Amino acid sequence: MQSEVKEKEKHLKTAGRPHIPVDWDKVNQLIMAQCTIEEVAGNVGMHRATFGEKIKEKYGVDFTTYATELRSKGKSLLRSKQYQKAMEGNIQMLLRLGEIYLDQGKEAKQEDTVITATFKDHMDLVSSVQSERKMAETSIKAEHKSD
């Protein structure tokens, strides 16, 4: 009887799908590249639930908790690389970082357009008032000359 139980336990341990080794360096790189759990799991050949279990077994936390720090690291590395390229003179990167960090994007351009239009309207109004004033002065001078 004892041998039958051991046989069943042995069969249960070897039953199911074969063990898939996980390349954790590759997993970490994918997570730093902002990949989702589905994308990472698919890349290592597992279902997302199975991959989530692997994370839990290895690190004792769920995927979200595990990935948070790695995603943050990935974003900081990307920002650093963008900054480096911009400082090397890459004009497109300078413009892009200006849009992101200095509010120099399309919204700022639209705001500049509104300010320019408002300024132009005010200057047109000043010009119009000045013209009317000159015409009034000319009219007054003409009246004084005729007296």
List pLDDT tens digits, range 60-71: 999 999 999 999
Same domain, 129 and 88: no
Same domain, 111 and 79: no
- Compute the Cα dihedral for 61, 54, 78, 81 and give only its sign: positive
From the list 70, 63, 96, 68, the residue with the least C-alpha distance to 81 is 96
Same domain, 54 and 119: no
Average pLDDT, the chain: 82
Same domain, 49 and 97: yes
Same domain, 26 and 94: yes
Residue range 28-44: mean pLDDT, rounded: 95
At 146, the amino acid letter reads S
38, 48 in Cβ contact below 8 A?
yes
pLDDT tens-digit readout, 74-97: 999 998 998 898 889 888 888 888
Asked whether the predicted pLDDT for residue 54 surpasses 80, the reply is yes
- Chain centroid to CA 44: 26
- Chain centroid to CA 128: 48
pTM passes above 0.75: no
Structural domain including 137 reads 106-147
For residues 85 and 147, which has the higher predicted lDDT (pLDDT)?
A: 85
Q: Where are the alpha helices (DSSP H) in the chain?
A: 2-14, 24-32, 37-43, 48-59, 63-87, 91-101, 106-146
Q: Of 74, 89, 104, which marks where a domain is finished? A: 104
Same domain, 89 and 57: yes
For residues 9 and 78, which has the higher predicted lDDT (pLDDT)?
A: 78
From the list 59, 20, 15, the residue with the least C-alpha distance to 68 is 59
Same domain, 39 and 111: no
Same domain, 80 and 139: no
What percent of the chain lies above the pLDDT cut of 70?
Answer: 76
Residue with tokens 């300010």: 115
CB neighbours (10 Å) of residue 86?
Answer: 17
The pLDDT value given to residue 75: 92
Same domain, 137 and 66: no
Same domain, 62 and 33: yes
For residues 105 and 25, which has the higher predicted lDDT (pLDDT)?
A: 25
Same domain, 87 and 126: no
Same domain, 76 and 8: yes
Specify the number of domains making up the chain.
2
Distance CA 43, CA 23 (A): 10
